[in-house]
Structure 1
Amino acid sequence: MPSGMVKKWVADRGFGFITPDAGGGDVFMHIKALPRGVEPHEGARVTYDVAQDAQSGKMQATNVRII
């Protein structure tokens, strides 16, 4: 399971970006990828899975867990 750091979080819009520990481009993260009632903050360490969004076709984080 990849890990990284929340680079940016836009609370009022419910999305942000993760910088992967393994390098590469930032990964999009939506509030729906987190457990209910959990909201990250910039700098939070997370683990996540990556999947293709059915609507946009772009890759994004799923099953995000703050560690």
Structure 2
Amino acid sequence: MVTKWVADRGFGFIKPDSGGDDVFLHIKALPLGSEPQEGTRVTYDVTNDARSGRSRAVNVHTRSQ
């Protein structure tokens, strides 16, 4: 679930359903023209960000309820 979205900066964070640390989400990981709202449930893959060394979401899509 998207727990924070900063629209004017194009990033936010996802709280994994399995728990653990939040995953960074950048607008480039979303389909063109889409933007999540806080509370949106999403599916995604996780990769390591080369610059920060932290987890980063990729291939992000809104999940059906």
TM-score by length of 1: 0.89
Shift of 1:51: 0.3
Q: What RMSD in Å do the two structures reach over aligned CA positions?
A: 0.8
Q: In the alignment, which residue of structure 1 is the partner of 2:27?
A: 31
Q: Distance in 1 between matches of 2:58 and 2:17?
A: 16
- Structure 2 residue 2 is the aligned partner of structure 1 residue 6: yes
Structure 1: which 5+ residue stretches go unaligned?
none
Give the corresponding residue for 2:11: 15
TM-score (norm 2): 0.91
Number of aligned residue pairs: 63
Task: Give me the identity figure in percent.
Answer: 70
Query: Per residue, is there more strand in 1 or in 2?
Result: 1
Unmatched runs of 5 consecutive residues or more in structure 2: none
